[in-house]
Amino acid sequence: MSGGVDSSVAAALLVDQGFDVIGIMLRLWSEPGQESYNRCCTPDAMALAKQVAAQLEIPFYPIDAKNVFYDQVVELFIDDYVQGITPNPCLRCNRHIRWEFMLNHALAFGADFMATGHYARIQKKSDRIQLRQAVDLTKDQSYVLHVLDQEQLSHARFPLGEYAKQEVRQLARDFNLPVADRHESQDLCFLGDGDYRDFLTRNSSQAITEGKILNLDGETMGEHDGLAMYTIGQRRGLGISSGTPLYVIDKDTERNSLIIGPKGHLYKQKMWADIVNWVSISPPADPFQARVKIRYKSPEEPATIIPLGTDKVEVHFENPVRDITPGQAAVFYEDDICLGGGIIRKSS
Amino acid sequence: MLNNSSIFLDYASTTPVDSRVIDVMLPYFNQSYGNSSSIHRMGQQAENALEESRHTIANIIGATDKEIIFTSCGSESDNLALRGVAFAQRENRNATHILISAVEHHAVSNTAIQLGELHGFDIETIPVDQYGLVDPEEVKLRIRDETAIVSIIFANNEIGSINPIHEIGEICRSLSVPFHTDAVQAAAHLPIDVNSLNIDLLSLGAHKFYGPKGVGALYIREGTPIIPAQTGGGQEFNLRAGTHNIPLIVGMSEAFILAQSDHDERNNHYSHMRDLLLSTISETILETRITGHPSKRLPNHASFAFHNVDGNTLLMMLDAAGFACSSGSACKTGSPEPSDVLLAMGLPPEWALGSLRVTLGQQTSSEDLENFLDTLPNLVDKVRQLNETN
C-alpha cells in the first residue's frame, strides 16, 4: 500500500470480497536529504496508507527495503547509465523488490496471495498461468510485470485489472477512501521531484564524462556532457546547428561518443533482446508473430520474434520503428496475453 | 493465517485501565467536574479529590503531600525534573554538569541532550555493564562540585534490569547532589520508599500500572532546587501550571493503591512465567541472548536479542499471528536503527537489531504463554530465512 488510489482501492476490493487482508508498505531508498520527495513512501504517503488501512480495519506493516532497493535497483540504474544504456528501474523493482523481497515477506506473514494495485490480469490456462493486459489499455502495466515467473504469478492478485482508471477513482469515492483525488505518481520514485540527469550528476561522476559528438561518418560535430544525459531520438539540446535536423541515433560507449544523424537513421527494422522471460508460455522454439512494445508507453508494433535459445530473441518489425533504446524492455503480446519480454541490447 | 484475536504481551508499553479505576474516575467527568482552583463548592469538591489523591500517592512512597507534583505523563515528569533542577542549580550555584546513564529512557536522554546542545550544560553519560546496570562506584567517580543533577533509571523499559538505586542514592546524598530516577516502569511492580532509597526526585506514569494514560507525577524532595518547566497559573505549588485533570489524577491514585498492594503475590505469578519465557526461548531458539540481567529484572519482563533477525519484521509477524509484543524501542516507521540501550550494553548491531520484549500483565494466562512459546521459534526461523534470501 503506497497511500495512492490504486493500492488503496485494491485493498478495499479484497476486503469487500471477504479476504483476510494485511497491508504492507515498502520503505524504499531515498537520496539522503530528498526523503520527503520520494513519491511512493513519504511520511505523508505513509500517513494516508495507515488511514486507509485503519478504515478498512486491516493491519498495516511498513517494511524496510532501503538497502535491498538500493543494491538491486538504484545502483544498477546508475551502472546502466554508465554503460550507456537507458534502464527501466521499475522492471528490476518488480522482479526483485516487489515480487521477491515483498512477496517473501507476505508469504512469511502467512499470506496465500499478494495483491498490488497494478493494472493487469491473470488467468489460469491448463498448466500455466497467463499474464494478460488490463481491461483499461491506457493503464495496462503488464509491460513491467512481464518479469514474473509462474511461481510468483501463482501468488499474484491484481484486483484492478478489470477496471478503468475512472472506475477505480469512483470506487475510491464509493469506499469513502481519503485518496480518491490523489494525483498519479509518474516519475521514478527515488528521483523525487528531480530529473534523472540531476540525480546522476549528484550520484555518479562516471555517468557524466564529457566526450565527442560524432556524425555517422565519424566526424566530430561537437562535445557532449556525458552519454547519460541524452536519449535515443533526442533532437533538442545537442548544441549543433545544421541544415537538416539531427537526432541522437546511437551511443558508442567504447569511444564515449554520441552518434547523431538525420531522422531516417532512427528507424530500425531489427533488434535483439536478452534476459528474455517467457511469462505466460513455455519458451518457444520457432519464430512466431507477435505485437511488440519497446517502451512502457509505446504503441504495439507487429513483428516476427525469432527465438535464439531460451532467453534471447531477434525481432523483425513489419515496419521500421523509431527510437529503439537499449536498456528498455521489449515485451511481446498475442491478443491480450503478455507472452514475455527481454531487455533490448541493439538494433539495426 | 491472519489471527484477528490478539494476545497482549506488551504490558511495559501500556496496560488496560482497571475497571475499579474507571469507576472512581467516572463521576469526575460530568458530576464533580469543577475546577480545583475555583472558590465555589464545585471547585472545592475537585480540590478535595486532588488533595486526597496527592496524599494517597505521597503516603505510599513515603513523601509529604507537597512533595508530589501531578503532571501529564512520565515523560513530562522527567522533563520537569531535569530542566527544573538543572536551571535552578545553574542559577543558584553555577552548576552545569549533568550525569545520566547510558540506558535512560528518551524522556531523560533527549532532554539532557537538548540541555547540552541548546543551553550549554555539560552532559556526561555513565556506562553500563553487560546487563545494562549502573555501577554506583562509576557514579561516585563522576560527581563533581558543579554536578547539578544525577538521573539514573530505576528499571529499564527495554531490558527490565533494576539498578542499585539505594546505593546510587546514598552516594548522591553524601555528595549533596540531587538524585532523580525515572521509576515509570518500576512503580508498577516494586515497592518504592523514597526515603530508604535515598531518592530526591522520582517520575511516575499512571498507565504503566493499570491507570489512565495522560497523567503522571513527579516526587520532589523538599528543599530540592527546582524551577517550573511549564509556567502559567499557580497550580502544583507553582511548579506545573495548568488546570488539574481531576478524573485522571483520581484514577492514578486509585491505580497506584492497587499496584502497590499485594506486590508479592502478583510478582510471584509473573516471575514464574517470566522465568519460563527466559529459559524456554533460550533453549528452543538458536543464537539467542537474554538482554538485561537474568534475575535483577522486573518480574513481568523478558527480553531477548536474536542474531541476524530483523526485529521489526518479527514483531509484524507476531502481530499477524496474534501476539502483540515490542522490541523495547518503538519504531513504527520501518526504518530500523539498533537500540542505543542494547549498543550501550556492548551488543553488536547484528544482535541489537533483533530485539524482542515480552512483558506480562494481569490478563496473561499460562495458556497464552504456551501458545506464544509454540509460535515464536517458527517465526524467528522465517525472519532469518528472509534475511538470508535478501
| Domains defined along chain B, listed by start | 7-16+263-389 (3.90.1150.10), 19-260 (3.40.640.10)
> Which chain A residues contact residue B321 at CB under 8 A?
110
Mean pLDDT taken over chain A = 92
A256 and A288 in a single domain? The answer is: no
C-beta contacts of B109-115 below 8 A and 24+ residues apart: B109/B340, B111/B78, B111/B79, B111/B82, B111/B83, B112/B82, B112/B151, B115/B82, B115/B83, B115/B86
Check residues A30 and A54 and name the one with the higher pLDDT.
A54
pLDDT at A188: 79
Task: Name the nearest CA neighbour of A347 among A247, A253, A250.
Answer: A250
pLDDT, greater one: A34 or B387: B387
Q: Fill in the amino acid letter for B276.
A: L
H or E element that contains A333: strand A329-334
Q: Does A128 touch chain B (CB under 8 A)?
A: no
- 3-state class (DSSP) for residue B103: coil
Closest-CA residue in chain B for A43?
Answer: B333
Residue type at A291? R
Question: Are A92 and A68 in contact, with CB atoms under 8 Å apart?
Answer: no
Cβ–Cβ contact A25 with B under 8 A: yes
Distance from CA of A330 to the nearest CA of B (A): 28
Count of CB atoms situated within 10 Å of the CB of B6: 15
CB B200 within 8 A of CB B213: no
B373 Cβ neighbours under 8 A, 6+ residues apart: B276, B277, B280, B281, B284
Q: Are residues A230 and A279 in the same domain?
A: no
The answer to whether B333 contacts A46, with C-beta atoms less than 8 Å apart, is yes
Mean pLDDT of A328-333: 97
Closest CA–CA distance from residue A33 to any residue of chain B (Å): 15
- 8 Å CB contact of B334 and A104: no
Count CA atoms closer than 13 A to B138's CA, side-chain side.
16
Contacts of B383 in chain A (CB under 8 A): 108
Q: State whether A56 and A187 are in the same domain.
A: yes
The CATH number given to whatever domain includes residue A46 is: 3.40.50.620
**Are the CB atoms for B95 and B147 separated by under 8 Å?**
yes
**β-strand A329-334 against A288-293: which pairing, if any?**
antiparallel
> Are A274 and A172 in the same domain?
no
| Cell numbers linked to B96 | 552545569
Look-up: residue for cell 530483523? B310
Cell of A330: 521489449
A30 vs B117, more confident: B117
- Does residue A96 sit in the same domain as residue A21? yes
Question: What's the pLDDT at A312?
Answer: 97
Q: Which residues contact B279 (CB under 8 A, 6 or more apart)?
A: none
Pairwise CB contact (< 8 Å): A20 & B4: yes
Radius of gyration of chain A (CA): 21
Query: How far is the C-alpha of B79 from the C-alpha of B230, rounded, in Å?
Result: 10
Q: For Cα atoms A6, A12, A13, give the angle at the middle one, nearest 5 degrees.
A: 90
Cβ–Cβ < 8 Å for A89, A73: yes
Q: Which of B1, B4, B334 sits opposite A62 (nearest CB)?
A: B334
Q: What angle do CA A157, A162, A167 make, to 5 degrees?
A: 120
Q: Is A130 helix (H, G, I), strand (E, B) or coil?
A: strand
A198 pLDDT band, cuts 50/70/90, is confident
Q: Which of A68, A104, A110 sits opposite B320 (nearest CB)?
A: A110
Band of pLDDT at residue A201, cut at 50, 70 and 90: confident
**DSSP per-residue codes, B304-316:** EEETT--HHHHHH
Comparison of pLDDT for B324 and A203, the residue scoring more: B324
Residue A129 domain-assigned (yes or no): no
Q: Which residues contact residue B252 at a Cβ distance below 8 angstroms, ignoring those fewer than 6 apart?
A: B53, B57, B70, B204, B206, B211, B212, B215, B216, B217
Cα B176 to chain centroid, rounded: 25
Q: Cα distance from B46 to chain A (closest Cα, Å)?
A: 38
In chain A, the percentage of residues whose pLDDT exceeds 90 is: 76
Q: For residue A111, what is the nearest residue in chain B, using CA coordinates?
A: B1
d(CA B77, CA B89): 18
Q: Is the pLDDT of residue A187 over 70?
A: no
For residue B224, give the amino acid letter: T
Decide if A231 is inside a domain. Answer: yes
Regarding whether A343 and A249 lie in a shared domain, the answer is no
Instruction: Judge contact between A332 and A339, C-beta under 8 A.
Output: yes
**Does residue A189 have an active-site annotation?**
yes
Reply yes or no on whether A338 is catalytic: no
- For residue A64, the chain B residues in CB contact (below 8 A) are 310, 312, 334-336
Cross-chain residue pair A110–B389, CB shorter than 8 Å: no
Answer yes or no: is A109 within a domain.
yes
Q: Is residue A316 part of a domain?
A: yes
Q: How far apart are CA B347 and CA B327, in angstroms?
A: 15
Based on the number of CB atoms within 10 Å of its own CB, is A141 exposed (0-12), middle (13-18) or buried (19 or more)? Answer: buried
- List A40, A41, A93, A338, catalytic entry: A93
CATH number at residue A233: 2.30.30.280
Residue in B closest to A47 by C-alpha: B333
pTM above 0.95, yes or no: no
Same domain membership, residue A325 and residue A242 = no
Considering the domain boundaries, does residue A291 fall inside one?
Answer: yes
Residue A321 has pLDDT above 90, yes or no: yes
Report the CATH number that the domain containing residue A333 is assigned in CATH.
2.40.30.10
**Helix-strand-coil percent breakdown of chain B, rounded to 5?**
45, 15, 40
**CA A267, CA A179: separation in Å to the nearest integer?**
42
**Residue B193: per-residue pLDDT:** 98
**Gyration radius from chain B CA atoms:** 21
Decide if A20 touches B, using CB distance below 8 A: yes
Is A62 touching B (CB cutoff 8 A)? yes
Give the range of the structural domain holding residue A288, as residue numbers without chain letter.
267-347
- Determine, yes or no, domain membership for A201: no
Q: Give the strand pairing for B301-306 and B355-359.
A: antiparallel
For the cut 80, the answer to whether the pLDDT of residue A185 exceeds it is no
Other CB atoms within 10 Å distance of the CB of residue A73: 25
Residue after which a domain boundary falls, among A233, A261, A289:
A261
Containing H/E element for A65? none
At position A173, the amino acid (one-letter code) is R
Segment A45-92, tens digit of pLDDT: 889 999 999 999 999 999 999 999 999 999 999 999 988 899 999 999
Along the 390 residues of chain B, how does pLDDT read in single tens digits? 577 778 999 999 999 999 999 999 999 999 999 999 999 999 999 999 999 999 999 999 999 999 999 999 999 999 999 999 999 999 999 999 999 999 999 999 999 999 999 999 999 999 999 999 999 999 999 999 999 999 999 999 999 999 999 999 999 999 999 999 999 999 999 999 999 999 999 999 999 999 999 999 999 999 999 999 899 999 999 999 999 999 999 999 999 999 999 888 889 889 999 999 999 999 999 999 999 999 999 999 999 999 999 999 999 999 999 999 998 765 545 567 788 899 999 999 899 999 999 999 999 999 999 999 999 999 999 999 998 776
The pLDDT score that the predictor gives to residue B390 is 61
Residues A111 and A59 both lie in one domain? yes
Chain B residues with at least one Cβ partner in A under 8 Å = 1-2, 4, 310, 312-313, 316-317, 319-321, 332-336, 382-383, 385-386, 389-390
Task: Show which of residues 79-118 on chain A sit within 8 Å of chain B, judged by CB atoms.
Answer: 100-101, 104-105, 108-112
Does a structural domain hold residue A44? yes
Catalytic residue numbers of B read 331
Residue B110: strand, helix, or coil: helix
Residues A45 and A177 in one domain: yes
Asked if residue A281 belongs to a domain, the reply is yes
Interface test with B, best of A35, A105, A114 (most B CBs within 10 A): A105
**Burial class of residue B91, CB neighbours in 10 A (0-12, 13-18, 19+):** exposed
φ, ψ at A225 (rounded to 5°): -90, 10
Residues A225, A286, single domain; the answer is no
Cβ-count burial A249-268 (b if 16+ within 10 Å, e if not) = bbbeeeeebbbbbeeeebeb
What's the total number of domains in chain A?
3
Q: Looking at the structure, do residues A18 and A33 belong to the same domain, yes or no?
A: yes
For residue B205 the three cell numbers come to 506514569
Tell whether A113 and A186 lie within a shared domain: yes
